[in-house]
Amino acid sequence: MSEDKKRITIEEALNKYSGVLNNPDGFSDITGPCGDKMAFYFKIKDGRISEIKFKATGCGVTLTCGAVVAFTADGLPLSEALRISPAYITDTIGYIPSDHKHCPILAATSFYGAVANYFLKVEKEMEIKGEKEEPQW
């Protein structure tokens, strides 16, 4: 991600990024192996994530992982936001109990799903318009 370090408390991130966006450009809803659910919604403006929200049901670790992804991705171009990995989420949080190691994977997978949803929408729009150039991500 960027060299400049942004900082926020988990509580502030949960308050700012928890929720749903109407008419998102990208959306994904995933259920993890433990039954926890996570959805990501984002909007793109000028090639960057201009708004992002997540909605999660489950344990506190799942909620924290979603907040880390949303906070980190906010304002980034998609090409940079795709660098958010389960390892990055784990490193950012610092400690995740061994029985919750799947939570960062759920958060990253749900976010990647939203990005894939966005790419498919853009591709379909280009196809409808008859544009043949490859989209610039």
123: domain CATH number is 3.90.1010.10
The answer to whether position 2 is within a domain reads: no
What band does 30 get if pLDDT is binned at 50, 70 and 90?
very high
Q: Is the pLDDT of residue 68 over 80?
A: yes
Distance (Å, rounded) from C-alpha 38 to C-alpha 25? Answer: 17
The answer to whether position 60 is within a domain reads: yes
The answer to whether position 102 is within a domain reads: yes
pLDDT at position 122: 87
- Domain containing residue 122: 10-129
Number of domains forming the structure of the chain: 1
Q: What are the residue ranges of helices labelled H in the chain?
A: 10-17, 60-73, 78-81, 86-93, 102-129
Closest alpha carbon to 137 in 49, 69, 71, 51: 49
The answer to whether position 108 is within a domain reads: yes
92-137 tens-digit pLDDT: 999 999 999 999 999 999 999 999 999 999 888 877 777 666 555 5
Joined together, the tokens standing for residue 36 give: 């926890």
